[in-house]
Structure 1
């Protein structure tokens, strides 16, 4: 899976917004500084997030941004789809329309399994989970399994 810088920045900005008290507005510059995101890039990201109604904004001297819904209701997948589109695709072709036949026909199921595993992590992990450091059990287990395998290989 490849994630764009824009999607990664968007997720970081949204998690940062999830840490502020309800009703508190955060200025773009403060959000950019808190997460080390280029401010002008963040303006474009926040515009996309606002269009998808993931953040709300208020103009003026006391203006800024806040989550448009509770952090527990916004998944990492929601943010990624807003910025980058579908979570997993093969050459932007629907899985059922891939031109596989013969020995490659089963690849469609491989891609379906990949999409399902990504969904189980990204759709079931919310901004609130990340902000609190309390990830869903299956996500923590997968991360632990990955770390153990990396250490086995000597990459950890």
Structure 2
């Protein structure tokens, strides 16, 4: 495989990288601009989420490289490829939380696709990576939605 050839698993993982990078940016935006009574809890939670996500994106990109392809990069390229929409800087706290829960759901959908393709292609390592990431994002969604119930 040359550096520009891809497989269905690589294509799915490249989409996950783009969506995770968009999620990282949106989570960072929310961390910087959250206001209101839940400020301290959300400011801290958002920082934990984007810090964990930064490391995870690196793992996924390195898996793409291990499969013999190039990892996607460049803000414009990643933004163009991502399915996650941006929110305005002045979004209220509850809308930020709802947006991030939905964005994490988009990432979960992409990870499920990558997991299934990896399983079909007997790529247990990519399948395992996707499964572990699904668990992290599902927990994040639960935590964000729980905040909105308060």
**What TM-score does the superposition give when structure 2 sets the normalisation length?**
0.34
Task: Indicate the structure with greater strand content.
Answer: 1
Task: Indicate the structure with greater helix content.
Answer: 2
Return the structure number with greater relative CO, CA threshold 8 A, min gap 6.
2
